[in-house]
Amino acid sequence: MKQRVYIDTSVIGGCFDEEFEMWSNGLFDDFKSGKKIAVVSDITIDELSDAPQIVQDNFKTIPDESLEVLIADSEVK
């Protein structure tokens, strides 16, 4: 079973932050190669619409088969 890793916008944007880029890009490499599954909430996806284009584009590099989207219910929201 592949490891599932919950990520939020700070991890996605971390690929472009000098302090976190090594770790965030390594994680994205694992998603792209299919070694791990990226788990995101629909809230994170909504937040990405306000993120810089480079961050939005980075999220889109995760293959569908390596992505799981959780839908927040009314209690979570």
pLDDT at residue number 75: 76
Task: List the helix and strand counts (H, then E) for the chain.
Answer: 4, 3
pLDDT at residue number 77: 67
pLDDT at residue number 73: 81
pLDDT at residue number 74: 78
Per-residue confidence in pLDDT tens, the chain, 77 aa: 999 999 999 999 999 999 999 999 999 999 999 999 999 999 999 999 999 999 999 999 999 999 999 998 877 66
44: nearest Cα among 3, 66, 13, 15: 13
Q: Are 53 and 59 in contact (CB under 8 A)?
A: no
* Residue 74: CA count within 13 A, CB half-sphere: 0
Q: Would you list the domain boundaries of the chain?
A: 3-70
Contacts of 49 (CB under 8 A, 6+ apart): 56
Q: Are 45 and 74 in contact (CB under 8 A)?
A: no
